[in-house]
Amino acid sequence: MFGEIKGLNEECGIFGVFGHPQAAHMTYYGLHALQHRGQEGAGVVVSDGVDLKQSKGEGLVTDVLDEDELISLSGYAAIGHVRYSTSGGKTAENIQPLHFRSSTGSLALAHNGNLVNATKLREELEETGSIFQTTSDTEVIAHLIKRAGRGPIMDRIKQALNELEGAYAIAMLDEKRLIAALDPRGMRPLSLGKVGAGYVIASETCAFDVVGAEYVREIVPGELVVIDDEGIHFDTFSEAKNRSICSMEYIYFSRPDSNVDGQNIHSVRKRLGKKLAEVSPVEADVVTGVPDSSISAAIGFAEQSGTPYELGLIKNRYVGRTFIQPSQALRERGVQMKLSAVKKIVEGKRVVMVDDSIVRGTTSKRIVKMLKEAGASEVHVRISSPPITHPCFYGIDTSNSGELIAANNSVEEIQKIIGADTLSFLPIEHMVNAVDRQDASPNCGHCLACFTGKYPTDLYEDSLPPHEKEKLIGVRS
């Protein structure tokens, strides 16, 4: 989120609409609300009932689509995608939705998540003659659908989905219908909404608010939702398995105004911050949060501890893709791009700096330094999640344990590396309780693999990055 100071990025966002005369425009606004989930590429595919048309490109939604483009994409159904590549590389052909034409018609796909058996499936498909146009694992799904015989499309889709392992929230569009599917563990969020006589689906409910849609419900694990001229049909392609929604959705990814599984993200994060203040209190003068994702947790920490919340850090929002990155020399002379410490607020103060997570440790280290340079007398770092000790293979860009500071260092060592006066993380049982407000149990409904190393799916050797193979094969919760 912070350009130069954050080394990692978010996953993807999907949006779909059926039964609206300005489907492309709706998708544009929906994707814009999901922009925080991926800034590398964006795309829309529209159906007018006869044909599919597409527009996609690298960059932000506003870079890729303009009014003329949207007007030319006339139709009453559409799907869209904002991308951050966590598999398949950054090349332009991997930008979604992927759009396939065949003698039997067209199909477009937009996918959020990662398949853990994509390499195996791709090899099997290639051995039997499939030729791939992209390196994205999403294309595997299209080939599996095509391969699944000559039966009705919905049967072929079900058969294909049952071959996938991993995390997937998918929107599909053909000439006549919009289809949404969620993996049997529900690892990614996907919601259904209603707009006028039509329907929308989105990775996050914040996209419903901007298009004036009303939230209907979450799409449930293993479910297939089909929307066409006759209405909406609910079906299942697989029995639901142990629910494993990504806990990082609550901690970091989702927008604070979104609701996941009926829980408002800002409220969950506030509870995480409150619990953190309870279990790791510290004498201090001010509490500040790292904008934007940690503000809610910092407010919770301040409320619980009675230490005032202050704007000790300010983010400049207007750093676009083309902003010229300061050279190392300029950076050393104090040129900072996105984040600044507010001197008058932190000078001479004991500051609690709340962040939602530490991945590589780069952000915390820079911010502690920044606060100290601005005159803070002490900086106490409080993290509203447990240490991230294991890589993610489900669509979050933390697939290299060598880069995870907590995989390789103790909390005391991390404290020294980042230069904090004290450092605490939120213990996992408190995190689960704060998200769920229930007792933590092994089947609490969340994926916790990056904190525990207990992966909810099998891991396939062929699909793991080479550096992780030895460490992880055979690991499962």
3-state secondary structure string across 125-168: HHHCCCCCCCCCCHHHHHHHHHHCCCCCHHHHHHHHHCCCCECC
Of 3-11, 145-153, 217-225, 265-273, the segment contacting ligand AMP by CB under 6 A is 3-11
Query: Does 384 help bind ligand SF4 (rule: CB under 6 A)?
Result: no
**Contact predicate 436/430, CB 8 Å:** no
Which of 106, 105, 172, 186 is closest to 138 using CA atoms? 172
Contact 259, 282 (CB under 8 A): no
Under the binding rule (CB under 6 A), the answer on residue 359 touching ligand AMP is yes
Query: What are the catalytic residues?
Result: 12
Q: Which residue's CB is nearer to ligand SF4, number 353 or number 396?
A: 396
Cβ pair 35, 61 in contact under 8 A = yes
Tell me the residue length of the chain: 477
Binding residues among 370-399 for ligand AMP as defined by CB under 6 A? 396-398
The Cα–Cα gap between 14 and 237 comes to 20
Distance in Å, CB of 392 to ligand SF4, minimum: 3
Residue 444 assigned as binding residue: no
**Cβ-based nearer residue to ligand SF4, 100 or 394:** 394
Binding status of residue 447 toward ligand SF4 by CB under 6 A:
yes
Asked whether position 411 contacts ligand AMP by CB under 6 A, the answer is: no
Read off the tokens for 50. 């006869």
Residues 278-317 that bind ligand SF4 (CB under 6 A): none
68 annotated ligand binder: no
Looking from the CA of 53 toward its CB, the CA atoms found within 13 Å total 13
In the bound state with ligand SF4, the residue whose beta carbon lies nearer, of 100 and 168, is: 168
Q: Tell me the closest approach of the beta carbon of residue 254 to ligand AMP, in angstroms.
A: 12
**Is 171 one of the binding residues for ligand SF4 (CB under 6 A)?**
no
249 binds ligand AMP (CB under 6 A): no
Stretch that binds ligand AMP, among 57-65, 116-124, 201-209, 350-358 (CB under 6 A): 350-358
For residue 292, say if its preceding peptide bond is cis, omega within 30 degrees of 0.
yes
Which of 174, 204, 218, 356 lies at the binding interface for ligand AMP (CB under 6 A)? 356
Task: Report how far residue 52's alpha carbon sits from residue 73's, in angstroms, rounded to the nearest whole number.
Answer: 9
Q: Which position has the token pair 């598999």?
A: 87
Q: Is residue 450 part of an annotated ligand binding site?
A: yes
Signed CA dihedral, 207, 72, 145, 473: sign only = negative
Does residue 356 have a known ligand-binding role? Answer: yes
In the stretch 216-255, what mask flags binding to ligand SF4 with x, by CB under 6 A?
A: ------------------------------xxx-------
| Selected binder of ligand AMP within 40, 204, 218, 355 (CB under 6 A) | 355
Pairing of strands 178-182, 191-195: unpaired
Q: Is 86 in the site for ligand SF4 (CB under 6 A)?
A: no
Identify the residue whose tokens are 């996941």: 260
Closest CB to ligand AMP among 183 and 355? 355
CA distances in angstroms from 446 to 180, 250, 359, 437, 476, listed in the order given: 21, 10, 19, 13, 14
Structure tokens, 328 = 């190392």
Binding mask 282-321 for ligand AMP (x = CB under 6 A): --------x--x----------------------------
Nearest CB to ligand SF4, comparing residues 296 and 357:
357
354: β partners: 289, 382
Which of ligand AMP, ligand SF4, none is residue 379 near (CB under 5 to 8 Å by kind)?
Answer: none
Q: Is 206 annotated as a binding residue?
A: no
Q: Over the range 446-463, which residues count as b (16 or more CB within 10 Å of their CB) and which as e?
A: bbbbbbebebbbebbeeb
Using the contact rule CB under 6 A, the part of the chain among 109-117, 323-331, 359-367, 462-470 near ligand AMP is 359-367
Enumerate binding residues for ligand AMP (CB under 6 A).
Answer: 1, 6-10, 252, 290, 293, 355-364, 396-398
Enumerate binding residues for ligand SF4 (CB under 6 A).
Answer: 187, 246-248, 392, 394, 396, 447-450
